[in-house]
Structure 1
């Protein structure tokens, strides 16, 4: 009978011949000291001697059929047999001798995913650039916590451990560096227990594979796409309130230090139209994400899909459109009754034009929503 693997260690490598040997040696020391039946899987895309060194030291080397930090891990996970899975880079910046710190909460049933934190641990001189330590990592971690409520201090620490059950629950797809953020977002969405433990972070040997601004943007872009409430609905609400405020102030000529007038109402109309369009984009994003398993089905979108089908959307849009047209026809009547004299430009006229635009947006948006929900059928 084949021995049951307790711990699988996954290491993605790209030309780490200087350090991969030390990493594997440390892992084997932990396995021996703690009497762990484990395996080491190296997901390698190197052009140097990294794979040969790894194989010679007893690691299983697999070659991902695609490129990218995240893809290397996802590919390596396919070969993992362990009850617990540990992941970390092969550049020896993370000390694998600290691996028991990650495994202990899992084995005690206190967590489903354990992530190390460098910012609450010790960062040795030269290990992390000041830009990452004091600006990039804290800001991106703060955004992640704000958007998703993950509650970690170092979202981009790559030394992590989790149970096999946790891995099977997480829908991990990102091939790039944003994989680190995706894992935490997925863990939170699936209700997994996340725990942090402090570690020591060491300087790496050789050239870093990170690109500060492009990798930072990838993380930020991914988080924004994954958080349509923050990307679409909150700005939409702000634009709507601002638009209504400008319209009301302009219509009532309320003195707020200045007396808003026609152009304030024009601006208010534009903000309301912008608000409506941004909200529609948010609904489209939510519907697409729910359909493809990225988001949970929220109450707002669930209500929309239940009550606002294509036909109702068209009727509502047509009604709004006709209200606007009626108002514009009324202005035309005034123009004609005055013998084609010049019709003075007034902010109140923007109400009719705003209704026309929103009515048309509602009609076309209804078709788009129907396409997303039914895939055109």
Structure 2
């Protein structure tokens, strides 16, 4: 059955996404129910089923757990469905493969009662049983991705991808989580750090043991690891686009500007027009990176993937596609003007032979202005498309296929 909106609110929902977990689902439900009985917490066990065909739904119903059927496939889709249907003021989620400790959830509840919006489990602090986590995940995947997540978003947690976590239901609903796949777990943490005011995120030790399934896990190491990394980079466009783009753009432009007035000799090494060619390419690459940052930011905020800050809204309010077009046109015309000046200079010499070095030294800044201007014009048209007002579908609208 599925929760109704007028159902009495409970304090805690223990939520388990499920896709063909008949082997381990019963023991997980019994452990969760045992915790609720021992602790005296007014709660429920909710199974968000993702289309199981092995009788998992019947097992859950027989044991008295509530079953909610997720209409979309995917780990994130199952959890979004569960969060929407949960009756608990607090939710603790965990996989139904008997790897997480559903019998010792009191530390999560205590932190949630204390005002935390999100409470993460830390398997490295609590203990990982032999064989519970592949060495690739334990020594490379999780530490690297957790380190990147900490560097980009500063959640102050040591296990970015622990699947056992608790949260305030309304706080997480307010994040408007979107991803339907394995990235959902990362999206929850990332958006909790990006919202203003920043959510209160805490961490408690938890254990991880080898799951009880005889089949392989749904997780695919390299594929899902890359998806998580890609997701972190998309949600941290400054690290992906701005910082490397600024370095490349400034360095390349500076070198082109200096060498436009003549070659430079440093020790026994000379820098001249060949260096200018590569420096101009570096400048273009950096500028493209900065333009992609702006377009990514527009797309992510317009689509609800990233929250928009007050400063960002002010910038968008003062920016228009027309201003971008004018800037692009100005850069383009500067490049054209330099090229025309070179032709006039050539005509003053009777259109005779020119030294290749002198020609290239002027041609590179001209070409650079033309390229940067044209890129800016295209970016401005695209940003206009992204920011065009659109009719939104009401939350209560029903779309039938």
SS of structure 2 residue aligned to 1:185: helix
Tell me whether 1:345 sits opposite 2:356 in the alignment: yes
Q: 1:376 and 1:102, CA in 2 relative to 1: closer, same or farther beyond 3 A?
A: closer
Counterpart in the other structure of 1:89: 95
Higher mean alpha-carbon deviation, 2-11 vs 193-202, is at 2-11
Tell me whether 1:176 sits opposite 2:181 in the alignment: yes
Tell me whether 1:373 sits opposite 2:380 in the alignment: no
Tell me the TM-score normalized by structure 2.
0.88
SS of structure 2 residue aligned to 1:255: strand
Higher mean alpha-carbon deviation, 154-163 vs 329-338, is at 329-338
Q: 1:17 and 1:311, CA in 2 relative to 1: closer, same or farther beyond 3 A?
A: closer
SS of structure 2 residue aligned to 1:9: strand
Shift of 1:370: 2.0
Aligned-partner Cα distance in 2 for 1:38–1:298: 36
Counterpart pick for 1:100 among 102, 106, 122: 106
Tell me whether 1:38 sits opposite 2:43 in the alignment: yes
Aligned-partner Cα distance in 1 for 2:339–2:390: 35
Tell me whether 1:356 sits opposite 2:363 in the alignment: no
The answer (yes or no) to whether the contact 1:370–1:376 under 8 Å persists in 2 is no
Counterpart in the other structure of 1:153: 158
Aligned-partner Cα distance in 2 for 1:108–1:229: 34
Deviations 1:162-187 (A, max 9, x none): 11222222221111111110010111
SS of structure 2 residue aligned to 1:41: strand
Deviations 1:51-97 (A, max 9, x none): 22111100112221111111111111221011111100101100101
Aligned-partner Cα distance in 1 for 2:104–2:314: 49
Aligned-partner Cα distance in 2 for 1:197–1:372: 41
Query: Considering only aligned residues, what root-mean-square deviation do their CA atoms show, in Å?
Result: 2.1
Shift of 1:2: 7.2
Matches within 5 A, 1:1-377: 4-44=9-49, 45-109=51-115, 111-190=116-195, 191-205=198-212, 206=214, 207-248=216-257, 250-251=259-260, 252-257=262-267, 258-298=269-309, 301-302=312-313, 304-346=315-357, 347-349=360-362, 350-375=364-389
Shift of 1:353: 1.4
Shift of 1:375: 4.7
Q: 1:106 and 1:299, CA in 2 relative to 1: closer, same or farther beyond 3 A?
A: closer
Aligned-partner Cα distance in 2 for 1:348–1:300: 41
The answer (yes or no) to whether the contact 1:287–1:301 under 8 Å persists in 2 is no
SS of structure 2 residue aligned to 1:201: coil
SS of structure 1 residue aligned to 2:126: strand
Higher mean alpha-carbon deviation, 357-366 vs 197-206, is at 357-366
Tell me the TM-score normalized by structure 1.
0.94
Shift of 1:306: 3.7
Q: 1:286 and 1:297, CA in 2 relative to 1: closer, same or farther beyond 3 A?
A: same
Aligned-partner Cα distance in 1 for 2:87–2:390: 42
Deviations 1:253-285 (A, max 9, x none): 333341111111111111112222221111111
Aligned-partner Cα distance in 1 for 2:345–2:8: 90
Deviations 1:202-225 (A, max 9, x none): 001222211000010110111111
Shift of 1:12: 0.9
Q: 1:255 and 1:375, CA in 2 relative to 1: closer, same or farther beyond 3 A?
A: farther
Aligned-partner Cα distance in 2 for 1:365–1:173: 26
